[in-house]
Chains A and B, each alone.
Chain A
């Protein structure tokens, strides 16, 4: 198996009930790459936080349920794991009634080697998280 070619691509409806589903799919991907322990635990927490952000923030203006989705992709390269969580919602905007504590992104930043949060055209958001695999 060529690790550099094995990817995970997953799209699910943006619902809280699908967050554990995504986490378990990513866990299977990690297991398939023999990634476990503290690294896998950190990856699963970061992915969960990114998906929670989508559910809580991306589609808050009543988009049709069928168009409210979480897109997740994962790719392992030789020394790094990259996971992207994307939505096609309304992008980043101030929200005075935020339901969370605002801990999600700081937690992601603490868990990853690098995190990029950028627009995902036409109006969504993409969170790209990179994890250093070291000698894994």
Chain B
């Protein structure tokens, strides 16, 4: 479980970025939920799973709730699952169909650029 961490920082554009590193499951969903809720205070947020080794459906539940809350608040929300992301992360997103439902980007730069290009921000 070394390297397991959730960090939140604010990009100069004002976008809140939550970086999720290592393995995450029911044992860390409270911490993740807190970080996502704090990020939701920004007008746009990105959840970066590029360095995530493992997630399960408990984590997906928190991501779905965050996505829904952002939509309801009129905020922008994006998920980064890059080329370096764990196959385990991609696997559960594909199994549950969330890779189709959620706005996915290859890296945070793409997600931020999508937000700038659309004017109103990233897809909700």
B60 contacts A101, C-beta separation under 8 Å: yes
Using a Cβ–Cβ cut-off of 8 Å, how many residues does chain B contribute to the interface with A?
18
Closest CB of chain A to B93's CB: distance in Å? 11
Q: Are A20 and B96 in touch, CB under 8 angstroms?
A: no
- The proximity string for A residues 21-47 relative to B, scoring 1 for CB distances below 8 Å and 0 otherwise, is 001100000000000001001101100
Tell me the total A-B contact number using a CB cutoff of 8 A.
59
At the interface, yes or no: A48 with Cβ under 8 Å from chain B? yes
Asked if B61 and A103 make an inter-chain contact with CB atoms under 8 angstroms apart, the answer reads yes
**A44 contacts B88, CB within 8 Å?**
yes
CB proximity of B123 to chain A, nearest CB, Å = 22
Q: Which of B8-16, B20-28, B75-83 contacts A (4 or more CB under 8 A)?
A: B20-28
Out of B1, B27, B64, which one reaches A16, CB within 8 Å? B27
> Are B57 and A100 in touch, CB under 8 angstroms?
yes
Contacts A/B (CB < 8 Å), 13 sampled: A16-B26, A17-B27, A38-B91, A44-B54, A45-B92, A52-B57, A100-B61, A101-B57, A101-B61, A103-B96, A107-B56, A107-B92, A111-B95
For the complex with contacts A17-B27, A44-B88, A101-B64, 4 further pairs of A-B residues with Cβ separation under 8 Å are A55-B26, A101-B57, A103-B61, A103-B96
